[in-house]
Structure 1
Amino acid sequence: MAAFEPGFVAHVAPAVHSCLVLPGGPRKECGIGTAEHGNSPRFESPPRLAPTDHKVGRALLCSIRHEPLFRCPQAHVLLLDRFSPAIAMLAAPLSGASARTCCSESCISATRAHCEKCLIDHINTAFLPLDARMTHIRAVARFRSSRHNRATIAPSKWRDWTNRATIAPPTEPNAQPPMSADHEILKSIQASPAGLTLAELLAAHPLVARRTAQRWLSQWVDAGIICPAGKGRARRYLVVGSAAPAALAIEQDRFPGFIPLSADSRDILAYIDQPPQARKPVGYQHDFLDAYQPNVTWYLSESLRRQLHKMGKTAQADAPAGTYSRAILSRLLIDLSWASSHLEGNTYSRLDTLELIEHGKAAQGKAAIETQMILNHKTAIELLVENIGTARFDRYMLMNLHSALSENLLPNPTDEGRIRQHAVDIGKSVYRPLSAPQQLDEALDNLLDKANRITDPFEQSFFVMVHLPYLQPFADINKRTSRLAANLPLFRANLCPLTFLDVPDHAYSRAILGLYEMTRVELLRDLYVWSYERSTQEYLAIKQALAEPDPARLAWRELIKQTIREVVTHPGQDALSLIHLAVMANVPQAERSNVQALIVEELRRLHEGVLARYGLRPSEFAAWQTAHSAQPARPAQ
């Protein structure tokens, strides 16, 4: 008869008995500790384990043939209640409670030796290594398939290290054990010539946790088993050595088919898709700007302009300039900051951008330059919206807009908001912009003059989006400046903004390359129209459900800003006193209490993400916070 290692039962039996507390209280109902069975020293002060612990389950099975306890029907009932049915079923033939659940009628005998042998075979396999266990189980399966015509017991999952048993269909004599989950995922990748994304892998293997799959993929990439292709959510995992990665990279780099293109745009793409060595180097073409006559030359046809006006019209069309952009400012800051930064390769998600802008929380694991880029966009957008009544296309607006976007991002800080004084190169392009500062100054003045004379907001917007990056007046960050400046005419006309949501970065870069090297706007125009339609779809819901701005906050917004700034820049003075003095000096008596409450509310909501709105620096805000927290609380009146 098969036997266990010496001392095994003596080691685990106390844990088993400590968990078997039968209904009714005393253990003597099963004979434990009675004169009939004696008081074994093994049962003194046994350690208590959780009933579901897999070690207790094993100990329970091991004790079946050694302890009289398990011949008590009450003990078997307890097993059925507190342990898995499969374990209790194994114990049933020995306890006498349900002999028919045994694997074979031949096991029912006075000695029950055959059933014990089967049981011990299963228990012993639980303590073998995985490979040896698989071999042992296959041998036991072949033995049972020939002599046992009832249920066969097999592990439910080979990767389940709890080693619990479940009832499974009869195993074929030569059947192979199921693959582990990591091998199944790797096999799925190997079976897919084009590779699989993480989302596709998780959909095909729903029992695998996302972080577990990410860890396995990272390990396989480090080991050189698979290789990633693509970025972000579009990243696919392919087998190393496959020809698919190169084909996939080419496929992902193509201009997206869901953006409608004209025949002229396809001609541009055909030229731009050639390698740089096959394209003719070109410089700045003065005729491109000189030939444009405001309100005579049109980049956007009349029918196209009508279509854009129809798409972008809002309920505030007849309101003062900037009313709509102020009303949607919170949403606009997130959408435009995220989408424009994404076109520059920023990996912040939309949710990360929301947390950063609304709560000042930088995303973990992101580079500081990405965080700075998002915050600079926010500051620049606020600059445009807050000065919408006076802003026009002039050097003051353009320089300050570039300064806000480039803060702490340029190698030379003196280049922030200043016309470049040196030559620049365009990556992956054969275009060479102007390099002489005097020529840049003249071309920029000509550009701004023509932009201000354009009457249609969409034509004005697109004109700026074309000629600012083509001229490259700044050392860097020209395209970002053009994307935000293109929204200025739309803000003034209370039209839906152009947020660039869902614009693929490789589509935008191709359209810009066509502009640089061919001075043709058709591809960029098609992308502009598609992008604006996409932006308006995002804002359709908030057009209808837009809350009216608070009239008092709108009327006294300058006073609110000045007072907040006065309070923060004078941390040594009492905040409520400064607010009271400002309200008394500027607000009629009937509105004083309401305006004072608005200022106090704004002060309570002040955080790092809104400092630019009040013209404050982080150091001033930090000093005010320190002084404010050090002040003792006022006694209750």
Structure 2
Amino acid sequence: MASIEQDILDYIAQHPASGRDAIRRGAAPDAGETTIYRALKRLVDAGRLEVTGRGRGTQYTIAGSAAVIAYLQTPYNQRPAVPYKPEFLDAYVPGKTFYLSATDRQALRKAGSPTGPQLPAGTYAKRILEQLLVDLAWASSRMEGNTYDILQTERLIKFGEAVDGKDRKEALMILNHKEAIQYVVDNLDTIQIARPDLFNIHALLAEGLLADPAMAGRLRGTPIGISHSSYKPLEDGITIEEEFEIILQKAAAIDDPFEQSFFLLVHIPYLQGFIDINKRTSRVASNIALLKADLAPMSFLTMDDAAYIDGLIGVYELNNVALLREVYIDSYLASAKKYRVLRAEVDVPEKAALAYRDFVREAVRYSVLKTKKFVAEDVMAMAVEQGIPEADREAVVDYAHQQLKGLHEGNLIRYKLKTADLEGIELI
């Protein structure tokens, strides 16, 4: 996309219902009227802008979801077949083209940014991992028709308890999400939007769910269809490989984490490069940039499933991201609000220790039953062994020490201890 077109989109996003003269003055004061007219026409023809009125009353606004919703009123089997269009991806120039306006990106960053001190890269993600595993695994699986509820998902992830009577593939889908999300968080320092990592995520999500297990973590070379859509994805394996590489190169060149996140949600499903599990791969991968930037994750917890699918069909058949963009923004704002509360609970040192409640209880029991006093070196070694992030260890060890010093017969139950266990203990 030419820079003048992006300047026009950015201006109209901040000044909706603008006329042509105002757009020229605000977005491209050095451009001639003909240049502006042609740029606006290209944007309207591409579905990026909507136009109302005539003559001097003509006004332009960013194309919204209404165009997609109206299009989808026609049943899919009555809509003309639409092939993959490489020009949709070709038109995207990282740093110049934006699916999310500057106003959108600013609002998302405000919602997702920490309110407390900046944490070392990956620390926040590790602190919220337990909650993220449940939220994202459940939400992403639900969007694929999985019938586990969120409490059943939590018990499956935490205790390995599958629900009797449900399809085993449903449990496997959830556990595969757990593995894929864990992979992202465990490797935040080195993970990239690159072929090996995207293949690893797909392979983890696909384990045990594909008819041909060899297709896990591998691009397809055979035709596939899209349910309830007239979209016809590419069939040629060589072209799929080429387009996939272009997606990776462009995604990696996007600096804004939200734009990169949304770009992956658009183009991984649009290409349909894998034999299956493309949308799940895009949802997990869309969190890489957010977590690496120490932003709240996108859990998809409150996303409207039907609107999400409609938004994707808008991408497939119209190359229009408007509805999917609205769904993404609304869902992220809700997700960020939840994780902002969770972050506030772990940013303060004593509250950070609460995030490791099981470890603290184990440390207190060890001190009472094994050493009969608090040995900081021993407890620190336990923290290292159990993988508590370095940034949290000192606070957690100190908190465990405070809990030991506060032991009495009335609170022993928290640590599964008895009064007799306190004999000979040094509570200092």
Return the TM-score normalized by structure 1. Answer: 0.46
Establish whether residue 421 from structure 1 lines up as the match of residue 221 from structure 2: yes
- Any gaps of 5 or more consecutive residues in structure 1? 1-261, 554-589, 603-637
Letter in 1 for 2:259: E
Letter in 1 for 2:226: I
Out of 259, 263, 275, the residue aligned to residue 463 of structure 1 is: 263
Cα 1:532–1:601 shift into 2, 3 Å? closer
- Structure of higher CA gyration radius: 1
Whether the aligned pair in 2 keeps the contact of 1:316 and 1:323 (CA below 8 Å) is: no
Whether the aligned pair in 2 keeps the contact of 1:410 and 1:416 (CA below 8 Å) is: yes
Cα 1:452–1:352 shift into 2, 3 Å? same
Establish whether residue 482 from structure 1 lines up as the match of residue 282 from structure 2: yes
Establish whether residue 347 from structure 1 lines up as the match of residue 151 from structure 2: no
Letter in 1 for 2:125: S
Whether the aligned pair in 2 keeps the contact of 1:431 and 1:517 (CA below 8 Å) is: yes
Q: Cα deviations across residues 270-302 of structure 1 (Å, max 9, x unaligned)?
A: 111211232111111010000100010011111
- Give the aligned length: 304
Query: Deviation at 1:334?
Result: 0.5
User: Which of structures 1 and 2 has the larger relative contact order (alpha carbons within 8 angstroms, sep 6+)?
Assistant: 2
Letter in 2 for 1:478: N
Whether the aligned pair in 1 keeps the contact of 2:203 and 2:217 (CA below 8 Å) is: yes
Whether the aligned pair in 2 keeps the contact of 1:325 and 1:494 (CA below 8 Å) is: yes
Letter in 1 for 2:321: V
Q: What is aligned with 1:298?
A: 98
Query: Deviation at 1:360?
Result: 1.2
C-alpha root-mean-square deviation of aligned residues, in Å?
2.1
Q: What is aligned with 1:545?
A: 345
Out of 370, 378, 388, the residue aligned to residue 593 of structure 1 is: 378
Q: What is aligned with 1:436?
A: 236
Q: What is aligned with 1:192?
A: none
Establish whether residue 307 from structure 1 lines up as the match of residue 74 from structure 2: no
Q: What is aligned with 1:112?
A: none
Whether the aligned pair in 2 keeps the contact of 1:316 and 1:494 (CA below 8 Å) is: no
Whether the aligned pair in 1 keeps the contact of 2:304 and 2:327 (CA below 8 Å) is: no
Letter in 2 for 1:437: G
Letter in 2 for 1:525: R
Q: Cα deviations across residues 363-394 of structure 1 (Å, max 9, x unaligned)?
A: 22221010000000000000000000011111
User: 5 Å matches for 1:9-88?
Assistant: none
User: 5 Å matches for 1:161-560?
Assistant: 264-315=64-115, 318-546=118-346, 548=349
Return the TM-score normalized by structure 2. Answer: 0.68
Separation (CA, whole Å) in 2 of partners of 1:265 and 1:440:
29
Q: Cα deviations across residues 568-592 of structure 1 (Å, max 9, x unaligned)?
A: xxxxxxxxxxxxxxxxxxxxxx986
Query: Deviation at 1:502?
Result: 2.2
- Any gaps of 5 or more consecutive residues in structure 2? 1-61, 357-374, 388-428
Q: What is aligned with 2:51?
A: none
Whether the aligned pair in 1 keeps the contact of 2:230 and 2:317 (CA below 8 Å) is: yes
Cα 1:301–1:419 shift into 2, 3 Å? same
Whether the aligned pair in 1 keeps the contact of 2:114 and 2:340 (CA below 8 Å) is: no
Q: SS where residue 545 of structure 1 aligns?
A: helix
Letter in 2 for 1:410: L
Q: Cα deviations across residues 234-289 of structure 1 (Å, max 9, x unaligned)?
A: xxxxxxxxxxxxxxxxxxxxxxxxxxxx8631111111121123211111101000
Cα 1:323–1:266 shift into 2, 3 Å? same
Whether the aligned pair in 1 keeps the contact of 2:77 and 2:229 (CA below 8 Å) is: no
Q: SS where residue 319 of structure 1 aligns?
A: coil
Query: Deviation at 1:314?
Result: 1.3
Letter in 2 for 1:396: P
Letter in 2 for 1:544: A
Separation (CA, whole Å) in 2 of partners of 1:402 and 1:323:
25
Query: Deviation at 1:459?
Result: 0.5
What percent identity do the matched residue pairs reach? 43
Separation (CA, whole Å) in 2 of partners of 1:343 and 1:372:
15
Separation (CA, whole Å) in 2 of partners of 1:466 and 1:317:
33
Whether the aligned pair in 1 keeps the contact of 2:84 and 2:233 (CA below 8 Å) is: yes
